[in-house]
Copies of this chain bind each other. A is one copy, B any other.
Amino acid sequence: MSLVQPRTLPGALELLPHEQIAFQGLLDTIRTTYERFGYLPIETPVMELAQVLLTKEGGETERQVYFAQSTGDREAGREPELALRFDLTVPLARYVAQYEGQLSFPFRRYQIQRVYRGERAQRGRFREFYQCDIDIVGQDSLPVRYDAELPAVIHQLFTELDFGGFMIEINNRKLLRGFLADLGIAEGEQQKLVLREVDKLDKRGPDWLRQTLLERFDLAAAAVEKLLAFVGTRSQSYADAAEILDRLAAEHQHELLGQGVTELREVLARVADFGVPDSHLRLNFAIARGLDYYTGTVYETVLSEHPEIGSVCSGGRYDDLASNYTRSRLPGVGLSIGATRLFWQLRELGLYRQSGSTVQVLAALMDEDLLSHSLALASRLREAGVNVQTQLEAAKLGRQLKYADRAGIRFVLIVGSDELSRGVVTVKDLRAQTQFEVTPEALAGELLQRLAAALPSAPAEPAR
Stretch from A177-185, A299-307, A447-455 at the B interface: A447-455
A282 to chain B, nearest CB (A): 20
Contact A36 B73 (CB under 8 A): no
Contact with B along A171-205 (1 / 0, CB 8 A): 00000000000000000000000000000000000
Contact B273 A21 (CB under 8 A): no
Q: Which residues of B lie under 8 Å from residue A15 when comparing CB positions?
A: 42-43
Which one of B80, B104, B382 lies within 8 Å of A156 (CB-CB)? B382
Determine if A46 is an interface residue (Cβ-Cβ < 8 Å). Answer: yes
Can you tell how many copies of this chain the complex includes? 2
Q: Which residues of B lie under 8 Å from residue A384 when comparing CB positions?
A: 460
A387 to chain B, nearest CB (A): 5
Contact with B along A113-143 (1 / 0, CB 8 A): 0101010000000011000000000000001
Cα distance A406–B40 in the bound complex, in angstroms: 14
Determine if A440 is an interface residue (Cβ-Cβ < 8 Å). Answer: no
Contact B459 A128 (CB under 8 A): no
Determine if A392 is an interface residue (Cβ-Cβ < 8 Å). Answer: yes
Cα distance A73–B461 in the bound complex, in angstroms: 47
A residues whose Cβ falls under 8 Å from a Cβ of B: 1, 3-9, 12, 14-18, 20-21, 24-25, 28, 35-38, 40-49, 51-52, 63-74, 80-82, 84, 93-95, 97-99, 102-104, 106, 108-109, 114, 116, 118, 127-128, 143, 145-146, 149, 152, 156, 270, 273-275, 322-327, 355-360, 362, 371-372, 375-376, 379, 382, 384-390, 392-393, 403, 406-407, 448, 451-452, 455, 459-464
